[in-house]
Amino acid sequence: MRDYVRRVGENHRKSRGQYFTPPDVAGFMTSWVLRSGGTSLFDPAFGLGAFHDAVPHDARVDFSACEIDPGIVEFRERTTGRRAGFVTVDDYLRSWGGRHSNIVCNPPYMRFQKFVNRAMVRREFRRRLGVNLSGYTNTASAFLLKSLSELRAPGRMAYLMPLEFLNTGYGTPVKAALTDSGHLFAILRFDCEKDIFPDAATSVGVILFDNAVRHASVKFYAVRSLTQLARFDEMAPVSDVPVAALDARAKWLPWFQPRACEADPARMTVLSTFGRFSRGIATGANEFFVLRPSTARARGLDAYADCVPCITRSVQIRKPIFDAADYHALSDADHPVLLFSANGAPSRDAAVYIRSGERRGFHERFLTKTRTPWYRTERREPSPLLFGVFSRGRYKVVFNTSRALTLTCFHGFQPNPLGRRYAAHLFLYLASQTGRDIMSRSMRRYGALLDKVEPNDVNGSPVPSPDFFATIREERVAEAMTVVNGTGRLPSWAEALFAPVKIPDKKKEEEP
């Protein structure tokens, strides 16, 4: 693999979504698929041939493959000294009509927007499979859908791929295709994803699909080490979920987590009852729009007329409650906390600054060239609650009483009248351990234990109902907010306020 990357370069590899399968994983997947008893095996994305090499030498297996990149096939032939006549050089997503007894695959990992023939591919998926591929679909999910349609009974299929589709809207038709037939056996998630693809910033797992057996439930495994794969049959799944309980429109990543904290539906609603989170401002050219106070002064820009206060980096907020004094401290220290915002008629100095941006080509950026005028920023109101987009193990939630807007490092909450009344209640819940345990099921897990949350993930998450919030006395809320502001954490008695929304763990109750 290193020799190949040195020869073609990282840009070539990544532009084609080439991430190579470790031998342990290839051996596990190939072995599991060949237990079907079939004597043929097809790989839709051959690459360097990890699955071909994983077939036991004494096995009589008719191996065939497809590969879009002729260069990688030539490299393998040169380095092995053997002709790879079993590989067809073709674009798998454009070659239809195949039927295969067994399939094993590590498909390309890239966004569908970067796929050269995506318009034609989408038309063919609609015509042949009746599936409308979202523009956000990745190529791995498209590969999986096509292979599902080509797998013969009683064959098996194993796919190594990113698992973010399990929690996304574009993944809905993929999950439906996996469960509609009842042949989905298990999904494995590698918690040791850096052992699989060291430079891939996404969760990684294996889909195991058995066309010979109808399964009443689907097993979800969390793999901590590649050595566990050798003892896979002895592993206990984290969850064993009835197929009837797997809604293709719901998020599936929570099934990889122990069900230790369940919310009581009688006391809960969804967050959108109180308002909605939306992403922060996307400028398209932070180098132009984000300013330090000293830079604004040097340009003759008025910090109030030509700019608006704005949190531009997550690290600028280090406290769970952020107020005007905190913002002014950042401004006085000359942090980049101003957003150029000439949304009305630009002042003379603002017009000069705009022309300087045009000379530097900022008006031709991807986002800026879609706006009229290009320097107009998105309109937002200051949000009383901010939710961090990325986190590792503990998300950031902030109660914001300043007038600062935020860039895309935070999602901002726009409350309705009910949300304005219970903004502090919502904050305390989201900051509590109970809230974190329940909210964690809405997170999308990426590489290196990196969690990401989208606005709709938060908006659809369970939170206490208005009736429940009404049972908490206002003076207790105010007291809790004072403690949080002073210490940075909830007191234990405030944590206990939200204990009633949890369903008791029956196993713990039964322990002597």
pLDDT digits (tens, 9 = 90+) for 425-465: 999 999 998 998 888 766 665 555 567 788 988 998 899 99
Q: Which residues pair with 502 in a beta bridge?
A: 263
Cα(450)–Cα(448) distance, integer angstroms: 5
pLDDT tens per residue, range 101-115? 999 999 998 876 666
Q: Please state the CATH superfamily assignment of the domain spanning residues 2-256 in this structure.
A: Vaccinia Virus protein VP39 (3.40.50.150)
DSSP assignments along 127-181, one per residue: HHH-----TT-BHHHHHHHHHHHHBPTT-EEEEEEE-GGGGSSTTHHHHHHHHHT
Q: Which of 412, 420, 419, 415 is nearest to 386 (CA)?
A: 412
Q: Is the dihedral of CA 266, 267, 273, 276 positive or negative?
A: negative
Q: What mean pLDDT is predicted for residues 308-333?
A: 97
* pLDDT averaged over every residue in the chain: 90
Whether the pLDDT of residue 511 is over 70: the answer is no
Q: In the chain, where are the structural domains located?
A: 2-256, 260-282+382-512, 285-377
Q: Which of 365, 323, 353 is nearest to 486 (CA)?
A: 323
Residue with tokens 């689907």: 218
Q: For residue 4, name the pLDDT band (cuts at 50, 70, 90).
A: confident
Whether the pLDDT of residue 36 is over 70: the answer is yes
Residue 9 has a pLDDT of 85
In this structure, how many other beta carbons lie within 10 angstroms of the beta carbon of residue 404? 26
- Cis upstream peptide for 154 (omega within 30°): yes
Q: What mean pLDDT is predicted for residues 265-282?
A: 95
Provide the CB-side half-sphere exposure for 17 (13 A, CA).
23
Fold assignment, 260-282+382-512: Adenine-n6-DNA-methyltransferase TaqI; Chain A, domain 2 (3.90.220)
Cα(135)–Cα(339) distance, integer angstroms: 31
Q: What pTM, to 2 d.p., does this model score?
A: 0.65
Q: What mean pLDDT is predicted for residues 321-338?
A: 98
Instruction: Of 110-124, 159-173, 193-207, give the range with the top mean pLDDT.
Output: 159-173
Whether the pLDDT of residue 507 is over 70: the answer is no
Whether the pLDDT of residue 508 is over 50: the answer is no
Cα(305)–Cα(327) distance, integer angstroms: 18
Structure tokens at 95: 């070659």
> 209-218, 367-376, 453-462, 497-506 — which is least confidently predicted?
497-506
Cα(221)–Cα(214) distance, integer angstroms: 19
How far, CA to CA in Å, does 43 sit from each of 92, 154, 395, 440? 10, 17, 39, 36
Cα(497)–Cα(279) distance, integer angstroms: 30
Query: Is 313 buried (19+), middle (13-18) or exposed (0-12) by CB count in 10 A?
Result: middle
